[in-house]
Structure 1
Amino acid sequence: MFNKFTTILQQAVEALAPDAPLHEDFVYHWKSITNFYIENTDDKTPVTDSNIPSHLKQMLQILIQEEAEREPGDTGPCMEYMLQHKLLETLHTLGKADCPPGMKQQVLIFFKNLLGKIKQPLLPHINVHRPVSRLVRVCGEVQAAPTETEEISFLCTLCARLKREPHLLHFFLQNNSTEIPNKPAASTNHIDSSETNLPSSSAKTSKRESYDLVDSLLNLCRSEDGRVAVKACEGLLLLVSMPHETAARATVQDTMLCPLLNTRLRTLFTSLPAALDPSDVDSVSAKWGLDSHSYAYNDARNFAGKRSLVSFLSWFDYCDQLIMEAYQDCSAYIARSIAKDFLNKTLLGPLLQADERAALTTTAVLTKLFSMVRSHALTCELVNFIVPNNTNLPEEGKETLWDTKKSELLSRLLERCDHFSDEISIVTLRLFETVLGLSNSIALDRLILKHLQHRAYHVKNPGNIVVQSDSEELEWDLEPGLDSAAPQTPPKPNKQFSTESLDGAGDASSSRAHIQRAVSCFLAAIPDSAKSTQANDDESGYDGYLREAHRMYKDVCAICCKFSWPKMNGKELEAAERCQPVAVYEEGPFLTMLLNKLSRVLSQPYGVNLVVTSIISRLCLIPHPLLHELFTDPLTPMRPKARGVYSVIKVIVEQISHRMAHVPNFKNRLLLARRKLASGGGFHDDDHNVSPTHKGLPMAANFGASAGVIASNDLDDHKTFLEGTIVVEEFCKELAAIVFVKHHALAAQSV
C-alpha cells in the first residue's frame, strides 16, 4: 500500500515539475529501476507493487516521442543511451530471473512494444538482437506459464518485424556443427534428405541451424489456451513464408516443425470414432483458426465425434495453408513429410484393413481431405498416395513395407467400387470423383489417359488386324438405324439448337452436321416407348442440362487450361493410323471398372447409378481430345470389342427394350417411378457429390390419373429397373447437352 501511495505521489510531482530534457528524463526512469534493486531486499514483493511498470512505460513513451521529433533514421540520445549501456541486456537478465515476481511479464511487454512501435532499424544493433534472441529462448520453456499471453504477443511482434526485414533473420540462426555429425540435416524429421528438392548443399552439410524462434513457437503451439496456440501457428506461417533460404530450410529441416504437424495429425485422426456416417463427414465445414463451430446440446447438426472430426480437419487445413505459404521448395519438403509420416504410416492401414466400418470411415475422411486441399505440393502427394506412379516404384527387393502396401491400395479401392455393400461402393466412387475433380492432371493421366495415348480403341490403329471398310461406310455401319431414328426423335427445337439454324446440315462432311448427328445419337438412343418424358415437353429438363453443362464446362476449362494437353481442335493429335500399333486394346483397371458399372445401371441401386453417371459426366466435360473422342463422340469408329460410353449405352437400351416387354403396364409404372424420384422418394437428401442435374428430375407434364392406380408393392418389384431406365434417359440428355456445349465452345475459339 505504501509503495502505491509513493507511486501516485511521484507521478503528481512529475506532473507539476517543469519538463526536463528527454534524455535526462529517460536516464532518471532507468536509474529509478536500478535503484529499486539496490534498495529493495525483499525479492518476493510482486513487481506490480513497485514503480517498475510505470518507469518502463515512461521510458517507452520517451523513445517514441524522441523518434517522432527527429528525422527518419536519426538516432536520438535516449536511444543511444539504451544501446550503449546495454539496457536490454539487463532487462533480459531481470526478466529471465523473474525478479521481482512478474518482472518477466513486464520485460516481455516492453520488448514487444519496443519492436512494434519504434520504426527505426533496431535489430541490426548487437545490443538489441542479442538480448531479443535470448529472450526468445525463454518463451515457451514452461508449459501453461502465466506469461504465455505476453510470450506469444512478443514472438508474433518479432515475426511481423522480421517479415518486413527478412534479411535480418540470420541474427536468429546459430550453427551447431557438432550436433548431427555425418548425417543429413533432415534426420531429425526422419526423412531422407535425398528425397527433397532443396539445394544439394543442404544434404551434404553436417551443420544444423539452431532456430530458437521456431522452437519457442512450436512449444507454444501445444498450449492449452486456444488463443495462444492459434497465435503461435500464425507466427510459424510468417516464418515459413519469409524469403530467406537458410532460415526457411532450417525451419523445415532443423526444427521439430514437421514432426509436430504429423504427430498432431496422427493423434487427432486416431481420436476419431471408428464408425462415422459418410454424409456427416461430408457435411462438416472446418477451417483452421479459433473454433467458431457451435456444439450446443440440442443442435440438430451435431453428431457423435463431430468435435474430434472438426479438430482433425482444422489442423489439416493449417498444414495445407502452411505448405501454400512455404518459401520455395520447403513446401514440397513439408508435403513429403506428411505423406511419409501420416499418409503412409497412419492412414494406409485403416484403408487396407478388412474392417468395413473402419474402411468406410477412413475413405470418407480421405475424400474430405481431397475436397479441402488447396496447395499444389500436398495435392500431388495425396494423388500419389491414391494413384502411385508404377514406373517409379523401387526395384524388387528394395521396396519398403509402405511401398508394398501402397501398390495394393489402388487395386483394393477399385475392388470396393464394386463391393457387395452399396454404401462402401458409393463412398469409394465418390473418392475417385473427388480426385478426378482436382486441379491436378496426375490422377487423370495415370488412371485413364496413359491407356488411351496410342488410340488403340480406334479402328484405324495399325495394330488392328481386322479388315477395314471405307471410313464413311464404317461410320454409318457403327450407327445402325441412325437415319431413321433422328427424324423420329429430333433434338428439342429451341433457339439454341434447331435444324434450321445449322448451316450445311445436309453436308455429311461439315462439322455442324457431325455434331448434329452426335447430339441426335444420344437424344434418340432411348426409344419413345421407354421414355418418361417427351423431347418437346417444356419439363423434359434438356434446357436445364444445357445451362448446367455450359457452367460446368467453363469451370472445368478454367482448371485444365494450365495443363499441357493437345488442343480440342485435333490438329495437335496424331492421326490414328500413324499411332503406335497396339494389338490388344486395354482399357485400364479404372476405365474397365467404370464402364462395367455403367453397363449394370439397370440392376444397381439408384444412389450408385448417380455417382457412376456423375463421374462419367465429369470426364466428358474435360477438354482433352482423347477423352472427347472416346466418351462424347458416338461417331468414333471403334475397333472390335473396344468400348465407349455410347456403345455401352446402346447395349443398355437393348436390355431395356427386351425387359420392358415383360413389365405389365410399363409406361405408367415408369411415370410413377419418375414422380417418386422427383418428390425425393427414390434417394436420400444426403446424397452428395453427384451431378446436380440428376437430383432435380423434373416431373413429366403428361402424368395422368392412370399412373396413380399402380400399387406401391407392384412398383417395388421393378423399382431398380425402372429407376435405372430413368437414369439412362436423363444421362443421355446430359451427354447430348455436353456434346452441344463443347462443340459451340470450340467453334467460338476458332472464330
Structure 2
Amino acid sequence: MSWLRKQGSFRLRRPAAILKNADPKTLLEAFREHCSQANALIQKWDLTINFAVRQDDVAAILNHLEQMVNYILEESAAKSFTGPPSTASTLSSMSSTPSPVPSLNSYAISPILDYILDNDVLEKILEWSLQTSEFTLRLLEEQLRIYEILTSNCSQRLLYQKGFLSPLQKLLSICQTECPEELERRLVALLNTLCVTLSQNSDLLQIFFNQKDDPPDFVVFSLLIPFVHREGCLGHQARDAILLCMCLAAKNHARMDELGRYMANHSTFCPVLATGLSGLYSVLPRKLGAQSEDWFRLTDEDIHEIPELASFLNSLEFCNAVTQVSHPLVRDQLLDYLLHGFLIPVMAPALYQSNTDEIVTTTVYLELFLRKVTEPRLVRVFLHFLMTTTCERRLLIDILMLRIGAHSKLSLVTISFFKTLVDFNCEEVMYELVFKYLLPCSHIMLAHRDRIRDVDTFCVTSQRLLSLTTSNQPGAGVKQSQSFNENLSSQISPNDQIQYLAYILDAKNGVRACRDACQVWSRSYDGSRNESQRKDNPVNNLHPNGNGDLKLLTEEREDSGIFVNDQRDFSADIGPFLTQILVRLEMLPINDVYTNLQLTSLVARLALYPQPLLRSFLLSQEIVFQPSIRSLYQILCTLRHKLDHMILQLGNSSALMQQAREFFAAREQHITQPSSLKSSVSKDKQVTVERPVPAQTQRRRSLGIFFRKFGVLQPIADNGGYRYIAKPPPERDVSSESSQNSAVHRNQMTAVLSMIVFDEFVKELAAISQEQALQQLLDEVPAE
C-alpha cells in the first residue's frame, strides 16, 4: 500500500453558506443535492477510468463532504433523535440494495443519516478514495475526520448501522495495515472518540471486539498501542483512550473479563509499555554537570529543562495510572514486565557502576521515580527491586547504604534517596533497613531490655537535648525537682521559645501522621520476647541472603577515593544503615552544610517512627547500650564538645556567626523565589545545571523556621552560597590571600555553620521526643 505515502496538494473551494435554523425537509433536500453532485463527480471519474482523476474533482468532492457534514451537525443540533434502530439497515441486514427515501415521519435515526445509510454514501466514498492514487491519503484523512464528528455528535445508535459501521471498520483496517504520519492525528482523535463512546455504552463493545477470531482482536485498542509513548497532544489522546479501555476491561462482567484476557495475553500492550520505558531511559542524560553545592534532587524546573526526562515521566505516570485502573491480569503482567524488563536489566546496572558522576545521576533519577509513583502496587515493585536485586552477590540496597559514607555529592544524593525511602512508612523497607537488626535487642544491655517500652513521663530526654543548645553550658544538667516548663523557660530565650513551639507543632503533625501510617503494620516492634522469637519475615520474597555478609559489604569500600569512612568497622548489632548514619553524623563538624542539613533531616524523620525499638534507640537516655554501641545522645554530646572547642579557637567567632546567619537567611530568601535552571545537553547527553538554591519543594520547614527568625536581611552578593561565605570580605584583596589562609577560613565557616545546624537539630529532636512521650501517655489512657 505504498500509495498511502502519496498526498496531493491543492486548495479547497470555500464552502457555501449553511442553512441555519432550517426545517428538516430543507436540510434534507440541500444534503441530497450535495450528495448527488459528489456522486456525479465519482461516476464521471469511473467513466474515464483510463485517465487520472483531476485535482479539481477531488477538491470539489471534499467541499461537498464538508457541506454534508455541516448539514448533519445542523440537524443534530436542531433535534434530539429518539426511536428504535432501523430494521432496514442494521448489522443483521444482509441486503445492500439502496432503499427509497423514507417519508419525513418514518425516520429511524434522522432524515439525513437515514439517507446516508440507505444509499451507502460512506461506503461509496471509501471505495472511490482507494482508487484515486495520489489523492487517497487526503481523502482518507477527511473521512477519519468525518467519522470522528459523526461519532461524537450523533446518536450512538449510528454505530449499530451497517452503512456506517462497515466502511468505518474497513478504514480502521487500512490504518492497521499501514498508517502514514499524515493520518496519525486524525486516527488517534477518532479512536479517542470511539473509546469515550464505548466507556459510555459498554454494549457497543461487541461491535469492535471480535472474540470469534483466533486470536481475538480489538482493533480500536491495538491501533492505539504504537502511540503510547508519543509526546504532545497525540500521545496524551492515545493514553487517555487506552485508560478508558482499561477501565472498561476492569468492570466485573463476563465480556469485560474476556477483554482483559485479550489485553494481557493477545496484545503487545504490556511489553511495548515496559520496553518503551527502557528506551526512554536510555536517552536520558548520563551526567548532570555543574550543579550547585546544595543540589541533591531533581525538581520540576529540572524536568522542564530536560525534555527526555519529561518524556520518561509521562510514560512512568501512565504506567502508574494503568496499574490503578486496569484488569488484574493486565496489571500483574505489566508489573512483571516493569520489574524484569526495565528495573532489573536497566536500572540495576546503572546503579552499580564505577563512574561516580553517573552513579549520582542514576540515584537522583531513581529518587525522582519513587516520588512520582503513587499507586501502591507499583511502589511495591520499586521497593521489591531495591530490597531483593543483587549485583555481583551484593544486595542493591546494601550497596546504596554504603554510599552514605561517600564524598559530598554522592553522599548528599544518597541521603536524600533514603529520606524518600523512609517517607513511605513501609514496614518491609524499615524491617530491611532497621528492625531486623534491632529485633534481637543485642545492642541493649540485658538488664535494660525490659525498659524499651518505658514512657518518658517527665520529658527528661527533651530537657537533656535542650541543654545541648548554644544558650546553655556544655553538659549542663537539669534539676529534676523543676517542672519541664520551668526548665524550658530557663534554658531558652523568648524568641527561641517561639521557635521551639513551631518545632513542637511540626513534631506533633509528623508523629501523628507516621503513627497513622503504621497502624497496618504486622508487628509492633516493641522489643518483647515474643516478637524477637518470631520466625516470620514481613518482607516477602526477599533474597535469601538479605542480611548480607559483612565481608561482601566491605568489599565495596575500595581504595577508589569514593568513600570517606574507609577505616570504620560496621557493627552487626544495629545494622549498616544506622551505623552509616551515625558515623556520618559524627563527622558533622567537617561535613559540608548541605550534607548536614539532609543528614539531620533523615535522623529526625527516623525519630518520628512510633515503634519502641527505634524510638528508644534514638531518643531514650535511660537505656544502657552495649559498650560497642554509642547512643545518639552520646554522639550529640561529643559533637557539642568538639564544636565548642572549634568555636573557642576562632578569634572572630561573633563575626563569623553573623555571617553564617546571613548565609542561612539569604539561602532561605532564595529558596522562596523561583529557581532559574539553565541546562544544556551535549552530544554525549551531559546536561549542565546551574541553580543557586534548591526549589521550594526541597525546603526543610523546621530549619526554615530558624532561618526566618532573623528577619529580612539583604541577600548576599553573587547569589550568596557556601563558597561566597567562605571568601574574605569584599573590601579585602582576594588575590593577596594565600591558599592556606583560604582553607583555614573555610574550615572556620564550616565549624560555625555546623554549630548552627547542630543547635537547631537538637531542638527538633527535643520536640519530637516530647511529642512521642505525649503520644505514649495518651495510648495508656483507657478509652471511654
Fold in common (TM above 0.5): yes
Distance 1:664 1:455, change over 3 A: closer
Is the 2:31–2:68 Cα contact (8 Å) retained in structure 1? no
If the length of structure 1 is used for normalisation, what is the TM-score? 0.71
Instruction: Report the CA distance shift for 1:31/1:591 in structure 2 as closer, same or farther (over 3 A).
Output: same
Alignment of 1:152-167 (within 5 A): 152-167=188-203
In the other structure, the counterpart of 1:580 is 533
Structure 1 residue identity aligned to 2:505? R
Over aligned residue pairs, what C-alpha RMSD do you find?
Answer: 4.5
Q: Does 1:650 align with 2:650?
A: no
Q: 1:4 to 1:273 in 2, by over 3 A?
A: closer
Is residue 2:188 matched to residue 1:231? no
Per mean C-alpha deviation after superposition, the further-off stretch among 690-699 and 615-624 is 690-699
The answer to whether the aligner puts 1:48 opposite 2:6 as a matched pair is: no
Structure 1's unaligned 5+ residue stretches are 178-206, 294-301, 389-401, 476-508, 702-707
Contact 2:298 2:365 in 1 (8 A): no
Could you tell me which of 563, 567, 584 is aligned with 2:520? Answer: 563
From 139, 142, 153, the counterpart of 2:175: 139
Aligned counterparts of 1:345 and 1:545: Cα–Cα separation in 2: 44
CA contact (8 A) 2:441 2:449 kept: no
The match for 1:516 among 437, 456, 459 is: 459
On the 8 A contact 2:403/2:411 being kept in 1, the answer is: yes
- Give the equivalent residue in structure 1 for 2:259: 247
What's the CA shift for 1:82? 4.9
Matched, 1:665 2:648: yes
Q: Return the offset for 1:235.
A: 1.9
Give the superposition deviation at 1:368: 1.4
**Residue in structure 1 matching 2:431, options 440, 445, 452:** 445
Corresponding letter in the other structure for 1:553: V
- Does 2:601 align with 1:614? yes
C-alpha separation in 1, matches of 2:522 and 2:666: 38
Q: Is the 8 A contact 1:531 1:729 kept in 2?
A: no
1:444-487 deviation line (CA, Å, top 9, x unaligned):
2322233334545454xxxx4xxx3897xx89xxxxxxxxxxxx
Give yes or no for contact 2:363–2:413 (8 Å, CA) kept in 1. Answer: yes
How far apart are the structure 1 equivalents of 2:534 and 2:431?
Answer: 20
The question of whether the paired residues in 1 share the 8 Å contact of 2:457 and 2:773 is answered with no
Selected match of 2:769 from 726, 735, 739: 739
Match of 1:285 in 2: 300
Structure 1: distance between partners of 2:454 and 2:353: 55
Distance 2:449 2:314 in 1: 61
Q: 1:22 to 1:697 in 2, by over 3 A?
A: closer
* 1:474-623 paired onto structure 2 within 5 Å: 514-525=457-468, 528-530=472-474, 535-540=491-496, 541-557=499-515, 560=517, 563-564=520-521, 575-576=528-529, 579-580=532-533, 586-623=573-610
| Alpha-carbon displacement from aligned partner over 1:206-243 (angstroms, at most 9, x marks no partner) | x64433223322334576x8332332222222222323
1:455–1:250 distance in 2 versus 1, CA, 3 Å = farther
By how many angstroms is 1:345 displaced?
A: 2.0
Offset at residue 672 of structure 1 (A): 5.0
The one-letter code of the counterpart of 1:239 is C
Is the Cα contact below 8 Å between 1:73 and 1:120 reproduced in 2? no
Q: Deviations over 1:302-348 (max 9, x none)?
A: 6xxx3333333333333333333434453343233222222222222
3-state SS in 2 of match to 1:276: strand
Does the C-alpha gap of structure 1 residues 83 and 319 become closer, same or farther in structure 2, counting only changes over 3 Å? Answer: same
Residue deviations 1:534-570 (CA, integer Å, cap 9, x gap): 8321343423322322343354455x15633567xx9
- The answer to whether the Cα contact below 8 Å between 2:427 and 2:521 also exists between their aligned partners in 1 is no
**Cα distance change of structure 1 residues 264 and 699 upon mapping to structure 2, 3 Å threshold:** closer
Q: 1:108: which partner in 2?
A: 144
Shift in Å at residue 61 of structure 1? Answer: 4.1
**Alpha-carbon spacing, 1:600–1:176, altered in 2? closer, same or farther (3 Å):** farther
Distance of 2:167 and 2:143 partners within structure 1 = 11
In structure 2, do the counterparts of structure 1 residues 699 and 91 end up closer, same or farther at CA, with 3 Å as the change threshold? Answer: closer
Equivalent residue of 2:217, what SS?
strand
Q: After superposition, what is the alpha-carbon deviation per residue over 1:364-387, rounded to whole angstroms, capped at 9, x for unaligned?
A: 111111122222222112112222
Amino acid at match of 1:657: H
Q: Compared with structure 1, are the counterparts of its residues 25 and 274 closer, same or farther at alpha carbon in structure 2 (3 Å cutoff)?
A: closer
Query: Offset at 1:734?
Result: 0.8
1:276 has 2:288 as partner: yes
Question: What CA distance in whole angstroms lies between the structure 2 residues aligned with 1:15 and 1:67?
Answer: 13
Unaligned 5+ runs, structure 2: 1-10, 87-107, 251-255, 477-487, 536-570, 668-691, 711-727, 730-740
Is the alpha carbon distance of 1:408 and 1:577 closer, same or farther for their aligned partners in structure 2, counting shifts above 3 Å? closer
Structure 1 residue 59 displacement after superposition:
6.1
- Residue type of the alignment partner of 1:686: V
Inter-partner Cα distance in structure 1 for 2:475 and 2:130: 82
| Per-residue deviation, 1:160 | 0.7
Distance 1:340 1:658, change over 3 A: closer
Report the more deviating stretch, 315-324 or 79-88: 79-88
- Letter of the 2:408 partner, please give it: D
- Contact map agreement 1:172 1:212 (CA 8 A) in 2: yes
Q: 1:36 to 1:221 in 2, by over 3 A?
A: farther
Alignment-derived partner of residue 211 in structure 1: 218
Residues 671, 313 of structure 1: alpha-carbon distance in 2 compared, 3 angstrom cutoff: farther
Answering whether residue 41 of structure 2 is matched by residue 36 of structure 1, we say yes
Higher relative contact order (CA 8 A, sep 6+): 2
Report if aligned partners of 1:417, 1:426 keep a CA contact under 8 Å in 2: yes
- Identity percentage of aligned residues: 18
In 2, Cα distance between the equivalents of 1:325 and 1:692?
35
What letter corresponds to residue 416 of structure 2 in structure 1? R
Contact 1:220 1:228 in 2 (8 A): yes
Query: Is the partner of 1:255 in helix, strand or coil?
Result: coil
Tell me, in whole angstroms, the C-alpha distance in 1 between the residues paired with 2:119 and 2:606: 71
8 Å CA contact 2:664–2:707 kept in 1: the answer is no
What do residues 575-628 of structure 1 show as CA deviations (whole Å, max 9, x unaligned)? 34884299x973232222223323333443333222222111111113334333
AA in 2 matched with 1:733: K
Letter of the 1:693 partner, please give it.
Answer: S
- Paired AA for residue 323 in structure 2: I
Is the contact between residue 209 and residue 218 of structure 2 (CA under 8 Å) also seen in structure 1?
A: yes
Between stretches 123-132 and 241-250, larger displacement belongs to 123-132
Q: Over residues 29-81 of structure 1, what are the superposed CA-to-partner deviations in whole Å (9 max), with x where a residue is unaligned?
A: 65554443222345343533235314632663486379625458783474556
SS at match of 1:358: helix
Cα contact 1:539–1:699 (8 A) shared by 2? no
Q: Hey, what does 1:337 align to over in structure 2?
A: 337
Q: Deviations over 1:101-146 (max 9, x none)?
A: 4321332222112211123434445555454333223336556533
Distance in 2 separating the partners of 1:63 and 1:95: 26
Given candidates 382, 399, 411, the residue that maps to 1:425 is 411
Q: Distance in 2 between matches of 1:213 and 1:249?
A: 16
Query: What secondary structure, in the 3-state scheme, does the structure 2 residue paired with 1:146 have?
Result: helix
Alpha-carbon distance, 1:246 to partner = 2.9
CA displacement 1:665-713 (0-9 Å, x = unmatched) = 3597665554333222799763675743235545999xxxxxx99x987
How many angstroms apart in 2 are the aligned matches of 1:212 and 1:287? 39
Deviates more, 1:32-41 or 1:136-145: 136-145
Distance (Å, rounded) in 1 between the aligned partners of 2:132 and 2:227: 19
Deviation of 1:520 after TM superposition, in Å, equals 1.8
Q: Aligned pairs, how many? A: 627
Aligned to 1:168: 204
